[in-house]
Amino acid sequence: MTRINGSILIRRPVEQVFDFVADERNEPVYNPQMRSVEKTTPGPIGIGTLWHVVMASGKRITPFELEVTEYVRPSRLGSITRMSSADIDGALTFVPEASGTLMSWSWDLRPKGMLKLAAPIFASIGRRQEQRNWSSLKTHLEDRREP
């Protein structure tokens, strides 16, 4: 198992950041690798909400399921991602700051099969992707005109 941690300060209110991130349908706006996302459970977003996601990296297409495992608005959002190559579970935390929201992530990566042998490379790529995605989210939310 490998852990990926990080944080970023977003100059927006904590509720706005939490609500935008909690709705996976927003992720294609700031994550160019996300090709599609569909909420597959009825009702409001909360514990047990399932998302079907399709990611693309080059010509490689990766479908997976993401399940919300914790939902404490506006402070904590936990999930587990189940892919053929790995399982990823962890949480995002949202802390109000004077200048906005400190959003932190902590993910446990559990590669499967042959990918276990490349776990350090997989983790390194994951760290860069997380930082890139959340930096893009920060830019998107801070550039929005509406509150």
Distance (Å, whole) CA 67 – CA 24:
11
Which pLDDT score is estimated for 78?
98
- For the chain, what are the domain ranges? 2-143
Q: Give the closest residue to 18 by CA, choosing from 76, 78, 69.
A: 76
Task: Report the phi/psi class of residue 48: left, alpha or beta, with left for phi > 0 and alpha for psi in -120 to 50.
Answer: left
For the segment 22-65, what is each residue's pLDDT rounded down to a tens digit? 999 999 999 999 999 999 999 999 999 999 999 998 888 989 99
Decide yes or no: CATH 3.30.530.20 for domain 2-143: yes
pTM of the model: 0.89
Distance (Å, whole) CA 140 – CA 70:
25
pLDDT band at 84 (very low <50, low <70, confident <90, very high): confident
Res. 81: pLDDT tops 70: yes
3-state secondary structure of 49: coil
pLDDT band at 122 (very low <50, low <70, confident <90, very high): low
